[in-house]
A = this chain, B = another copy of it.
Amino acid sequence: MVKKSFSNMACSLARALGIIGEWWSMLIVRDFFLGNGVRRFEQLRDSLGISRNILTERLKTLTEAGVIERVPLREGGKRCAYKLTDQGVDLMPTMVAMMQWGEKWQSEPKQRLVVVREKATGDEIAPLCLRNQGGEPLSMRDLYLTAVGPHGEQVVKEWPPDWITDSDQLPASTLKH
């Protein structure tokens, strides 16, 4: 079941987590990508080692959220396959971002299951990075974040201040709440 408290939050990250933030959800999505976007119940179960009842629940959540849809195998029949919708396919960057992060920082054991390559060259795709509207890569120092407040105004935060990487010294504002 979707985490109700997340789904209604005024934050697109929280709403996303309400759907794909549950245990197994993203792994199920990964399996769909490995299956050309289509999988069947037992196939998912076998490849993930998930319990049937949990899989049933996750498929329901994902279906209700519009990430996957049921495709009946015979008209009027009860059996079906599941496939990614456009919304589901659009989880690719999220999945890749997590895979790349995991590979860079959590590489014990040093194994991976999925590699994404360019058809034209066979090369692996590049690490994801944030870019401006013109397509130029941006580093952390090129960015700032705004927090949308209760009255619609935006409170600007400078990012990242020097002390983050340069020392362990904390600014006064952190000391006095």
Binding site for B on A (CB under 8 A): 3, 6-21, 23, 26-27, 30, 33-38, 40, 42-43, 65-66, 71, 73, 81, 83-84, 86-87, 89-109, 111-121, 123-126, 128-133, 135, 137-138, 140-148, 154, 157-161, 164-165, 168, 170, 174-175, 177
Q: Are A12 and B115 in contact (CB under 8 A)?
A: no
- Count identical subunits in the complex: 2
Report how far A100 CA is from B131 CA in the complex, Å: 13
Task: List, sorted by A's number, 26 A–B pairs whose CB atoms are closer than 8 Å.
Answer: A11-B112, A12-B113, A15-B107, A16-B99, A18-B106, A33-B159, A34-B145, A36-B160, A37-B161, A71-B170, A81-B174, A89-B164, A91-B101, A94-B94, A94-B98, A114-B146, A114-B147, A114-B148, A115-B148, A118-B143, A123-B132, A125-B131, A125-B132, A125-B138, A125-B143, A128-B130
- Which chain B residue lies CB-closest to A34? B147
Residues of B within 8 A of A131 (CB): 125-126
User: Which 3 pairs, one residue from A and one from B, show the smallest C-beta to C-beta distance?
Assistant: A16-B102, A12-B102, A10-B111
Contact of A125 among B90, B107, B118, B130 (CB under 8 A): B130
* Cα A16 to Cα B175 with chains together (Å): 32
